[in-house]
């Protein structure tokens, strides 16, 4: 059974998740407003995000978040109303405030908040108030305290009737009442009991609460109503100002007390609360004019709908559900074991030669494949969410460097495994910062080179041949071949003779060497030679590939190619030297008989062959892994033509075994030096098959000397 602490901890975690998402939306909206000050919807979106964060923090009593976010919200409100101009200085201050809100949210639940964070809140708060032209004490609590000292506090009456589903929807009415203390002082509270049914008819999860509240505050009606913005669909709220007429009180009494007994009880409660209402005057007014559905005594906006909100029936918030990542990983693992078991069942069915058994096994296979695709789909997330983070990075870094840069994002809806998205963010950050610092020129240098003063930086993603391709490109100065080679010779990475013969594609890859940098000076952004080697290492850890293309004076493009998923793939099973190997089915282009060029010298590991007029490289996997070929019964071997992007390669194998659902398992440490292996898998028979790394095979085909020395795979 969950304790109160467990429930609060879970609620706090939920708030933090929502707060992080809200801050992302807030930042995106601010950047949109900065790009287009006339975008009223973006400004409204930023205001709603700040209001949502403030309200959520208020529910849990996170006053530091509430008070600071109130300052931000006030600035945005003035901007929405056109009373405060949208200036670059104002937008910069709001973005700094967004970072501070992030720090405050990160401190939620901390036993000892950082005093430096509080100091930043105070300093930024003063700047926000100065931007508004307001006095220093403009936060709700400060406003209440100041007005109390000057005698401007007024007594408001709040009448709240909760909806039946309020508790089911996760709302805590007491949190809202406690939050009223940030506006002033709650002097009295009464809870009517006439809606509480007998115990036998009581719904344990239903809500039958109501509250009559007296609030002493200098705040206006709008500020009071904003407190209950999150309850708009789960309560009926009436706010009566200190100058409410007897007719308004009588109308409220008629709505809240349907019977004589309830009416008498409520009048008695009001009298105890100090409500300035004459019951006799109210009765006269009540007899003179019965209450209408929309009571004129209660100003517009004070009544809120009651009961279950319509938006929950078909709104966007019913389309998503948060699931813990470890639970999803466990589901993927179970599906993987099911795939292996299904393959085993098919093998048994074939051995038994039973049509009914084979048909049942095939049906199970189809269902398992559908379950696998569905489970993997749960792990796929759009990469656009990661791309959007760089809008702020580009904005801040370009201003810091004195450059004008436009960021273009395309292919944001391209989906990638969530585990990859989390890892790829850091390499992309390095690439974007390098383009900003090293690639793109300052406006004056761009104009001297005949370019537009504003540089262009692009992030592009798309699917190709079972892979996800991510490109980071700019129209800057490009890579300097001579400068890179000079630095490489200086560091002893190669000699002058080798440098002169090295093709451009290999020269560009030198920048990924550890500690390599051509920067003339070290800055806080780059120049230490740290980062690009980490980029390459992280990409290769995901079984990916990174390539560079560059044109001097025109810019460069960094292309990252990643597998679609790290968990399960549709594979193509082969046999080489008694060992099973699996290729991703998406890269298999065609299978043909062994060409004459491959049979000419049976001892060769690689070479080239003619495929319908096109010369392609080939690689004999048996010789590559140092095992003896074992052709089929007819003595024939086959060649598989595989494609990776624009590159094509022929792989010589002993036998073709067909499609196979492959659950990729990590390799043991002994196999890690073999770059042409991406993992392993378990076959239905219990044998182990090795998953081939196409990038490693392509590199080996181009460089025969790179063939690994490992020999004993045949005994695997």
pLDDT tens per residue across span 415-424: 888 878 888 8
Phi, psi of 140 (to 5 degrees): -55, -50
Q: Model confidence at 308, in pLDDT bands (50, 70, 90)?
A: very low
Residues 422 and 570: their CA atoms lie apart, in Å, by 24
Phi, psi of 565 (to 5 degrees): -150, 155
Task: Compute how many other C-beta atoms are within 10 angstroms of the C-beta atom of residue 138.
Answer: 16
Question: Which ranges in 491-559 belong to alpha helices (H)?
Answer: 496-501, 504-509, 532-541
Secondary structure (3-state) at 685: coil
pLDDT of amino acid 70: 86
Q: Model confidence at 320, in pLDDT bands (50, 70, 90)?
A: low
The rounded percent of the chain whose pLDDT value lies above 70 is: 83
Residues 552 and 497: their CA atoms lie apart, in Å, by 23
DSSP H or E segment with residue 584: strand 579-584
pLDDT of amino acid 2: 56
Secondary structure (3-state) at 688: strand
Of the listed ranges 471-475, 517-521, 607-611, the one predicted with least confidence: 517-521
Whether the Cβ atoms of residue 562 and residue 544 lie closer than 8 Å to each other: yes
pLDDT tens per residue across span 526-574: 544 456 888 888 888 887 888 899 998 899 999 998 877 666 778 899 9
pLDDT of amino acid 531: 66
Q: Which range among 108-122, 216-230, 304-318, 458-472 has the greatest average pLDDT? A: 458-472
- The DSSP secondary-structure symbol of 87 reads -
Average pLDDT over residues 324-352: 83
Which residues, in sequence order, are CB contacts of 254 under 8 Å at separation 6+? 286, 290, 291
Residue 613 to residues 136, 616, 624, 646, 698, Cα–Cα distance (Å): 80, 10, 26, 17, 20
- For the entire predicted model, the pTM comes to 0.64
192-197 contacts: CB < 8 A, separation 24 or more? Answer: 192/256, 192/257, 192/262, 192/265, 192/266, 192/269, 193/265, 194/257, 194/259, 194/261, 194/262, 194/265, 194/266, 195/161
More confident residue, 716 or 227: 227
Phi, psi of 158 (to 5 degrees): -120, 130
């Amino acid at each position: 059974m969950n304790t109160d602490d467990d429930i609060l901890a879970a609620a706090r975690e939920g708030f933090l998740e929502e707060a992080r998402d809200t801050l992302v939306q807030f930042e995106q909206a601010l950047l949109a407003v900065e790009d287009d000050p006339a975008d009223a919807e973006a400004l409204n979106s930023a205001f709603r995000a700040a209001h949502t964060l403030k309200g959520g923090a208020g529910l849990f009593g996170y006053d530091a978040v509430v008070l600071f976010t109130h300052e931000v919200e006030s600035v945005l409100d003035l901007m929405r109303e056109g009373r405060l101009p949208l200036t670059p200085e104002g937008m910069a201050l709001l973005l700094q405030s967004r970072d501070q809100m992030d720090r405050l949210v990160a401190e939620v639940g901390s036993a000892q908040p950082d005093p430096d964070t509080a100091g930043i809140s105070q300093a930024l708060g003063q700047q926000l108030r100065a931007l508004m032209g307001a006095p220093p004490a403009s936060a709700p609590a400060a406003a209440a305290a100041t007005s109390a000292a000057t005698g401007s506090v007024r007594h408001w009456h709040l009448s709240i009737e909760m909806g039946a589903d309020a508790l089911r929807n996760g709302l805590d009415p007491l949190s809202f009442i406690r939050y009223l203390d940030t506006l002033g002082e709650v002097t009295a509270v009464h809870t009517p009991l006439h809606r509480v049914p007998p115990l036998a008819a009581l719904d344990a999860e239903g809500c039958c609460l109501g509250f009559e509240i007296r609030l002493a505050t200098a705040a206006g009606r709008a500020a009071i109503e904003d407190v209950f913005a999150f309850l708009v669909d789960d309560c009926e709220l009436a706010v009566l100002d200190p100058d409410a007429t007897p007719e308004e009180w009588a109308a409220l009494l008629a709505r809240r007390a349907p019977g004589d007994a309830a009416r008498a009880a409520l009048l008695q409660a009001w009298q105890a609360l100090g409500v300035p209402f004459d019951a006799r005057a109210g009765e006269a007014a009540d007899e003179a004019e019965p209450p209408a559905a929309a009571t004129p005594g209660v100003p517009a906006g004070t009544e809120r709908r009651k009961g279950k909100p319509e938006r929950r029936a078909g709104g966007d918030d019913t389309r998503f559900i948060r699931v813990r990542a470890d639970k999803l990983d466990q589901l993927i693992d179970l599906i993987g074991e099911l795939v292996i078991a299904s393959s085993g069942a098919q093998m048994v069915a074939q051995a038994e030669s039973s049509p009914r058994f084979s048909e049942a096994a095939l049906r199970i296979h189809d269902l398992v494949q559908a379950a696998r695709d569905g489970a993997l789909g749960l792990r796929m997330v759009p990469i656009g969410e990661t791309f959007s983070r760089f809008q702020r990075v580009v904005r801040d870094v370009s201003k810091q460097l004195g450059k004008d840069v436009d960021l273009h994002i395309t292919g944001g809806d391209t989906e990638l495994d969530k585990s990859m998205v989390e890892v790829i963010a850091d390499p992309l950050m390095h690439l974007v910062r390098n383009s900003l610092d090293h690639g793109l020129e300052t406006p004056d240098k761009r104009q001297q080179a005949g370019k537009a003063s504003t540089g262009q930086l692009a992030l592009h993603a798309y699917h190709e041949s079972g892979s996800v391709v991510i490109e980071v490109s700019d129209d800057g100065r490009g890579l300097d071949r001579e400068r890179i080679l000079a630095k490489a010779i200086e560091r002893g990475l190669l000699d002058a003779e080798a440098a002169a013969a090295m093709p451009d594609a290999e020269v560009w890859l030198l920048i990924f060497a550890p500690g390599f940098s051509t920067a003339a000076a070290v800055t806080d952004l780059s120049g230490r030679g740290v980062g690009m080697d980490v980029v390459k290492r992280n990409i290769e850890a995901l079984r990916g590939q990174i390539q560079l293309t560059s044109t001097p004076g025109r810019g460069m493009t960094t292309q990252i190619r990643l597998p679609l998923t790290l968990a399960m793939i549709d594979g193509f099973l082969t046999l080489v030297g008694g060992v099973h190997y699996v290729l991703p089915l998406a890269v298999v282009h065609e299978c043909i008989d062994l060409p004459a060029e491959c049979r000419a010298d049976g001892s060769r590991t690689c070479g080239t062959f003619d495929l319908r007029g096109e010369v392609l490289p080939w690689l004999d996997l048996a010789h590559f892994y140092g095992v003896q070929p074992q052709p089929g019964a007819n003595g024939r071997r086959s060649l598989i033509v595989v494609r990776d992007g624009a590159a094509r390669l022929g792989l010589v194998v002993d036998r073709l075994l067909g499609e196979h659902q492959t659950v990729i398992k990590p390799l043991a440490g002994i196999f890690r030096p073999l770059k042409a292996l991406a993992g392993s898998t378990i076959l239905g028979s219990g044998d182990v098959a090795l998953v081939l790394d196409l990038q490693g095979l392509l590199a080996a085909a181009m460089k025969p000397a790179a063939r690994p020395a490992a020999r004993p795979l045949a005994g695997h």
